Chain A
């Protein structure tokens, strides 16, 4: 079963994501609330996939993604953000995101993005 690390500053979002992912057969092994915490948790937990928000305190998700990819260039990171501007999506994909999901997210779309990242 694939292990997932969630990063979002809003606990309600993580609650919904966790429910959706567990129904989809994934295991959520950690929940971070900001960019610095997700980088630290990634080091410790080595999850198969990270679901990363962009707007977070202390360090945003794009910078946290860059920090994780510097440690592990094979890290699978999927952005899940309320921000869906074209320029940001381009920036995130260029920086190494495997996919970009705009909130409110469709449960099927999130599960599919993880399955694709795992291939």
Chain B
């Protein structure tokens, strides 16, 4: 797997977090994994198809996800923020992936994505087929966030 495939996701994550939640993300490290298990409690899985295939997994600690959501809907009550937590985090993952596909697709290619699937548990076992995974960690004032990208051109 080539490093350039993860760069669009890194650029998009920084942009979208800033735009939607006014949160500054800093890239901390990049690692290559085999069968990846996201390390945090809340994971959002989005599949890619079309001219690229594979999947992307966004993973957050619960308290980080809660704080991010509170920045995405600052005027809502705590109850409402709680009720919309999974949905708001899913929309963030959807927008980051969507923005990244614009950068990956260029002018000719078309990439489709699946609706986000939310997985909640301490450690979710996830198989990424045979595609190696590039994992990036970001730090923010609310904790870390991980993006795992296992994609390749069709």
Find the A residue at minimum CB distance from B110. Answer: A87
| Chain B contact patch, size range | 20 to 34
CB of B99 within 8 A of CB of A85, answer no
- Give the contacts of A60-114 with B (CB-CB under 8 A): 60, 81-88, 91, 102-104
Q: For chain A residues 8-63, which have a beta carbon within 8 Å of chain B?
A: 9-13, 15, 55-57, 60
Max chain B Cβ within 10 angstroms of own Cβ: one of A12, A56, A57, A86: A12
Contact B109 A85 (CB under 8 A): yes
Instruction: Give the docked Cα–Cα distance between A13 and B87 (Å).
Output: 8
For residue B95, CB closer than 8 A to chain A, the reply is yes
Bound state CA distance, A86 and B95, in angstroms?
A: 16
Question: Would you call the interface of chain B mostly helix, strand, loop, or mixed?
Answer: helix
How far apart are the CA atoms of A82 and B101 in the complex, in Å?
9
Q: Is the CB of B115 within 8 A of A87?
A: no
The total of Cβ contacts below 8 Å across the A-B interface reads 69
Contact assessment for A87 and B97 in the assembled complex, using a CB-CB cutoff below 8 Å = no
- Cβ-defined partner of B87 (8 Å) among A12, A82, A85, A87: A12
B7 interface residue (CB < 8 Å to A): no
Q: How large is the interface on A (under 10, 10 to 19, 20 to 34, 35 or more residues)?
A: 20 to 34
> A91–B95 Cα gap in the complex (Å)?
20
Could you say which of B19, B73, B109, B112 contacts A104, with CB atoms under 8 Å apart? Answer: B19
Question: Contact at B84–A12, with CB atoms within 8 Å?
Answer: yes
* Bound-complex Cα distance A104 to B91 (A): 9
| A102 and B20 alpha carbons, distance in the complex (Å) | 13
Q: How far is the CA of A15 from the CA of B72 in the complex (A)?
A: 12
> Please, could you name 24 A-B residue pairs with CB atoms under 8 Å apart, sorted by A?
A9-B115, A10-B90, A11-B84, A12-B84, A12-B87, A12-B91, A55-B98, A55-B112, A55-B113, A55-B114, A82-B94, A82-B95, A83-B101, A83-B113, A84-B102, A85-B105, A87-B107, A87-B108, A87-B109, A87-B110, A88-B110, A102-B102, A103-B98, A104-B95
**Residues on A close to B: CB < 8 A?**
9-13, 15, 55-57, 60, 81-88, 91, 102-104
3 smallest CB-CB distances across A and B, nearest first, come from A82-B98, A12-B87, A12-B88
